[in-house]
Structure 1
């Protein structure tokens, strides 16, 4: 049995944050292995310091609970429905859900459960396809599914997509921020609720080679950290997806650290009375 996320030691009934593993691994285009993402991110987090000097808080004091993994069966649509119900239960209990993928398709379940106004994705790919290889639930369709729920999708670090996807991205409900502009981007969303999805392939492969569809000319970890900390106070939930087992742990370390950055920044905003 895989140990829980280090520092996620709160009981469920008092938790402010609930981590849900979602090891879906069915449509990765190039390198499979996302089923190992939740396990790897839990494992590498054991080396992190408990204390965060930005917020002067300790992870173990922030009431994080690890629900464990929601394991997929044979039908992806049924799995997304069940996973969505699990995320909705977290929300209904008054906690903030944190999803560890798994391929990016798991984001669809979280967005359906939380119904945010805006979905902010750190992602190399636009993911605006209607289907890919005949699969309407491919990980290349996530942004399109998100637009069935949210009024806007913002793709930070987007640099790859089909011609049809780039044409779709020209509509008012999609904003693509290229890698060289992410450093200056600010989450100008007003009072709208945001869901944050972190596809680890937003990072340049030199920083996170353990992912399914590698795309050069990407973001540096520090740029991703800044985005996560900026969006977290406005967010109703977060996921880290597309981490696999095809490297020496670099992608898992980055993903796990970004999850903790979200919790620290979100909890600090709540403590300061920011009601998002």
Structure 2
């Protein structure tokens, strides 16, 4: 399974730097992204993590490939975290009771890579735990847009996961770039993000995190290509917005308000 997370500015290796070291990443200001969720995932054979984001007090969006496993899968959602390894009073740990994977999700080519998780209890909304608005069906983010991606994933190719939330700014690319790399790229449901010049990208462990453009979640960290580190592919939320609304109605008829995060 391809899990993705935060690579940042690579540089020319100096003799003391160590092979494969990646530097230039940026720590996010503590609790500056109160919509972020850390998913602890347990299966019979392994434990791992993904990202996600709160869109309602009882609902988190993430990538389908994070939970689309055979056998028993348990997911615990941690909200309000900055140092995920620390004992922060701001953290709320809530099990996911159910989740709805898109019925046309394909593990082979990562099409329709989206899942909506229903929390067993509502999150307590406060300054450290807030929702984020998602792109509506008619809202599109175009080439050249600068967006933010954050997560607790690997910060180097040696497998070092971040303890604190990291962030990186990425540019939306011309979709022809991803189309040239893979015939599986789908314009209507995917976003091509990140360029080789900036050498920034999500990496292992960041899957499921949001691509935030102009204070709205427009994408979900999905997958990359074995041949190249850049660009990466994000699930296009606007394409799935009607499906998301339909699933939320299955949670219950009553609409649960959640004031969206704003800077």
Could you tell me the TM-score, scaled by structure 1's length? 0.28
Bigger relative contact order (CA 8 A; separation at least 6): 2
Could you tell me the TM-score, scaled by structure 2's length? 0.29
Which structure shows the higher strand fraction? Answer: 2
Which structure shows the higher helix fraction? Answer: 1
